Amino acid sequence: MVDYIAFDSTQALEYVKNQTNFFAPDAELTCYEFGDGNLNLVFRIHDQQQHSVILKQALPYARCVGESWPLTLDRARIEASVLIRHGEVCAQTTVKVLHRNDTLAITVLEDLGHMHILRGQLCQGHTYPNLAIDVADYLAKTSFYHSDFYLSPAQKKALVKEFTNPELCAITEDLFFDDPYHRSERNNYPNELQPHVTALQNNSNLKLAVAELKAKFLSSPQSLLHGDVHTGSIFVDQTNTKLIDPEFGFFGPIGFDLGSFIGNLLLNYCAQHKRAVELPKRRDLHAYLLNSIQTCVAQFEKTWLQLAKTQTRDLALQAPGYAERFINQVLRDAYGFCGTELIRRTIGLAHVADIDGIENLRARVEVQQQTLLLGEQLILQAPQCDTKEDLSQLLLSLLL
Amino acid sequence: MVDYIAFDSTQALEYVKNQTNFFAPDAELTCYEFGDGNLNLVFRIHDQQQHSVILKQALPYARCVGESWPLTLDRARIEASVLIRHGEVCAQTTVKVLHRNDTLAITVLEDLGHMHILRGQLCQGHTYPNLAIDVADYLAKTSFYHSDFYLSPAQKKALVKEFTNPELCAITEDLFFDDPYHRSERNNYPNELQPHVTALQNNSNLKLAVAELKAKFLSSPQSLLHGDVHTGSIFVDQTNTKLIDPEFGFFGPIGFDLGSFIGNLLLNYCAQHKRAVELPKRRDLHAYLLNSIQTCVAQFEKTWLQLAKTQTRDLALQAPGYAERFINQVLRDAYGFCGTELIRRTIGLAHVADIDGIENLRARVEVQQQTLLLGEQLILQAPQCDTKEDLSQLLLSLLL
């Protein structure tokens, strides 16, 4: 076992050639690095017959900032382990791990280069008919099978330990729940937004509701989350959907993943006011996005309750009606976390291309005003909603 | 380092003589075993000058059942570590650890032989003026300083791992939340109680509320609990109170410890209907117990909020009003957990001497009917109470 070194393309190629058997021994391999994410190196290694794999390697720092922001290599272990566990219960929508090496912080993955990253596609106005159902299926199955309903308490406690992920969780804790609601050097928004940011930071009811959400993020290990379900972590084509990049995985509140996903669809929804210039196209996209959210929530709930009905192993949690009550709370949480995603992507450190790609400042600020307001109201009002219908009604009333 | 062996009195004496320096080298020591608990060996080692220490050793099985019920020695590590951490923030009410040896599953403790175990004293009708305040102080300080309000997320996550305690938690999970609500061989109650037990086990609203409580016990690591705060885990005299035996310690819902304590006072309250034959004495004891509960809850809340106000380090959780909201939920949880303690001590495996010591069967069954009904109503109605005043009102309405 060698110690960690950060690979260049040649080393990545040699590693795959010598340490795996994906390619024929005499295959002529090519390798290039194309990572555009914030944190890691990503290599594609392919032969002349259109066979290819992805080699992902964590760096001991955050790539987008540099060596001044050290970041644990342990995230590669977490990511590979989450993918393997999620793949066991939802293979169809989880990128496949072909090989792992935790010392080198390497994961070799199936190449999804024939598919597209969802965010870019949505920005360009493309739609995907199976997206909502597939994501719902992934979120329901991965969360049910790692919850107290299904795992024995001893299994679950062991997994909670295994997936303790303090450094990556700290990023979420800071960026989602602290920075946007206080003055912070990491915040990032145009001056034009300052009055709205000031109002938001002075809204004590909002801060109270955000405290509730942060407390849940900190101390509610309901299931093994992906931890970063934004539209940049999802590959799509017209038939398939694949989740990637769960390096933020940990045992947390189930609503967090669903809320992050909905939040990203809503960020795109708001951006389309300025992106989709033609009204019919805009209406179509808005209808698609809203419909996707409603379908995803409904399908998530339905699948979860079906699993709970037939596969709950915990005796007490089998009490009739309990799963329904549990999932209603998960949905309320989801809309709340969705609100924090809308806000932190607007005024926090990490933005989304959906909005930042709008070149006209005034148009962009208008969109940002909407995402802030929408986020604020979802956080404040979701806790009062009893059912998914109420939550859907709330969302519609805020959008239409 | 030697491997584990279970000590006899001679070995316990030799260990203290050779491995510690509590006694002068030439001291003439005596040792006897007097453990009457369910799980462990307990030795007292003393010299001729009235110096003494307690050596507690875990056995690799539950003492009350025998070798057929294996039980992890790791509980000795947990117990010593909880005592040390709790002692750091509340030395006055935590028994002092003098020495530990995790391999031998040994903890050497200060001898509290000049004090009395609370349960026996309450059964005999003795009262302790500082009890409520002392226990409140212990519960507030130990839970605040190990919560997300005070610890950094990274510290807390490391401690959650360290205090993962699956085998002991499983006992609570089974005995508190499963057995009493289903047919179980471990349940233990007289035939006369069967109609009441059947009604309880058919009460679907109750089972729904118990599922909520179990889910919290499983997945709400709010703070480092004692895990077993019954009146047999508390030493008292007229000035001091000392908590012992936190081998069930783990990160769980804060209300569990407070609820267990209140539950044990209420078990005694109900038992006094038949124990304290003379009405004036009974009234005094009832008033003392009720007053202790109210004082304990009020003081717990007050101390917690004071600590939260001045020492909360988490930025989001500093939101004005959040600590109040958090503690209100903790109190609701506490009354709910209290209800599960009343029920499981009545019809589950492990009873309390307060009730089982009532020799007349008919009198005992009457008390058991009351504890069942009280437990049931607390579990059902506590979630609807907004404040500690509402909770107190609820309790009074059920008792008077």
A283 annotated as ligand-binding: no
The chain B residue lying nearest A175, using CA atoms, is: B316
Residue of B175, B207, B219 to mutate, testing the A interface (most A Cβ within 10 Å of its Cβ): B219
- A56 known member of a binding site: yes
Residues in B lying within 8 Å of A, measured between beta carbons: 148, 153-154, 156-158, 160-161, 164, 166-167, 169-170, 173, 177-178, 181-182, 204, 207-208, 210-212, 214-215, 218-222, 314-322, 325-326
User: Which of A147-161, A341-355, B29-43 has the weakest average pLDDT?
Assistant: B29-43
Confidence at B2, pLDDT banded by 50, 70, 90: low
| Chain A residues with at least one Cβ partner in B under 8 Å | 148, 153-154, 156-158, 160-161, 164, 166-167, 169-170, 173, 177-178, 181-182, 204, 207-208, 210-212, 214-215, 218-222, 314-322, 325-326
Q: Are A214 and B317 within 8 A, CB to CB?
A: yes
Q: What is the CATH number of the domain that holds A29?
A: 3.30.200.20
Residue B36, pLDDT > 80, answer no
* pLDDT band, very low/low/confident/very high, at B63 (cuts 50, 70, 90): confident
Chains A & B: contacts with CB separation below 8 Å: 111
SS3 category, A100: strand
| Structure tokens belonging to residue B174 | 């089974």
Strands of A40-46's sheet, edge to edge? Answer: A30-33, A40-46, A52-58, A106-110, A97-101
Say whether both A39 and A175 belong to one domain.
no
CA distance B388 to chain A (A): 20
Choose one of B93, B110, B127: the last residue of a domain: B110
Predicted pLDDT of residue A67: 83
What mean pLDDT is predicted for residues A236-240?
A: 96
Q: pLDDT of B92-135, one tens digit each?
A: 999 999 999 999 999 999 999 999 999 999 999 999 999 999 99
Q: Is the pLDDT of residue A1 over 60?
A: no
Annotated binding-site members of B for substrate: 228, 344
Q: Of A110, A136, A166, which one is at a domain's C-terminal end?
A: A110
Contact A158 B166 (CB under 8 A): yes
Integer CA distances (angstroms), B97 to A35, B43, B92, B111, B244, in order: 54, 15, 13, 10, 10
What is the rounded average pLDDT of the residues B6-34? Answer: 96
Identify whether residues A185 and A278 lie together within a single domain: yes
**Structural domain containing residue A161:** 116-399
| Residue A64 covered by a domain | yes
The pLDDT tens digits of the residues spanning A247-288 come to 999 999 999 999 999 999 999 999 999 998 899 999 999 999
Handedness of CA A324, A325, A328, A333 (dihedral sign): negative
* ipTM score assigned to the predicted complex: 0.96
Position A38 confidence tier, pLDDT thresholds 50, 70, 90: confident
Q: Would you call A215 and B148 a contact, using CB atoms and an 8 Å cutoff? A: yes
- Report the pLDDT value the prediction gives residue B215, as an integer from 0 to 100: 98
Do B194 and B261 sit in the same domain of this protein?
yes
The token pair at A159 is: 């997994």
Q: Which residues of chain A lie closer than 8 angstroms to B167, CB-CB?
A: 154
Q: Are residues B137 and B56 in the same domain?
A: no
Distance CA B118, CA B241 (A): 9
B337, B263 contact by CB (below 8 A): yes
CATH number, residue A322? 3.90.1200.10
* B258 and B144 in a common domain: yes
Do A211 and A135 fall within a single domain? yes
Mean per-residue pLDDT over chain A, rounded:
96
**Does residue B1 sit within a domain?**
no
Strands B66-70 and B30-33, by their bridges, are unpaired
The pLDDT, as a whole number, for residue A39 is 83
Of A110, A140, A155, the residue at which a domain comes to its end is: A110
Using an 8 Å Cβ cutoff, are B168 and B73 in contact?
A: no
Q: Over the stretch A202-218, which tens digit does the pLDDT of each residue have?
A: 999 999 999 999 999 99
In a domain, B174, yes or no: yes
User: Tell me: the pLDDT tens digits for B178-226?
Assistant: 999 999 999 999 999 999 999 999 999 999 999 999 999 999 999 999 9
Residues B290 and B250 in one domain: yes
Same domain membership, residue B379 and residue B253: yes
Residue A37 pLDDT exceeds 90: no
Evaluate whether residue B322 is within a structural domain: yes
Contacts of B220 in chain A (CB under 8 A): 219-220
Confidence (pLDDT) at B39: 83
Give a yes or no: residue B4 inside a domain.
no
Q: Of A173, A204, A315, which has the smallest distance from its Cβ to B153's Cβ? A: A173
- Range A184-208 average pLDDT: 98
- The predicted pLDDT at position A43 comes to 97
- Are B136 and B95 members of one domain? no
Residue B249, in any domain of the structure: yes
**A3 in any annotated domain:** no
Instruction: Name B168's Cβ contacts closer than 8 Å, sequence gap at least 6.
Output: B71, B72, B75, B78, B227, B247, B248, B250
**Chain A environment of B178 (Cβ under 8 Å):** 315-316
Look at residue B347 and tell me if it is in a domain: yes
pLDDT of residue B67: 83
Query: Crossing angle, helix B361-381 and helix B322-347, to 10 degrees?
Result: 150
Q: Are residues A30 and A75 in the same domain?
A: yes
Task: For residues B75 and B150, state if they share a domain.
Answer: no
What's the confidence (pLDDT) of residue B201? Answer: 98
Q: Which residues of A touch B166 (CB under 8 A)?
A: 153-154, 157-158
| pLDDT tens profile B333-342 | 999 999 999 9
* Helix H or strand E encompassing A130: none
Asked if the model's pLDDT at residue A2 lies above 70, the reply is: no
Residues A77 and A132 placed together within one structural domain of the fold: no
Task: List all residues 6 or more positions away from A66 whose beta carbon is below 8 Å from its beta carbon.
Answer: none
Q: What is the pLDDT of residue B69?
A: 85
Distance separating alpha carbons of residues A231 and A262, to the nearest angstrom: 9
C-alpha distance from B317 to closest chain A C-alpha (Å): 5
Mean of the per-residue pLDDT values of chain B: 96
Residues of B in contact with A211 (CB under 8 A): 316-319, 322
- Span B220-244, pLDDT tens digits: 999 999 999 999 999 999 999 999 9
Closest chain B CA to residue A159: B161
pLDDT of residue B66: 79
Q: Which of A116, A117, A120, A104 is nearest to A55 (CA)?
A: A104
Query: What's the structural domain count of chain B?
Result: 2
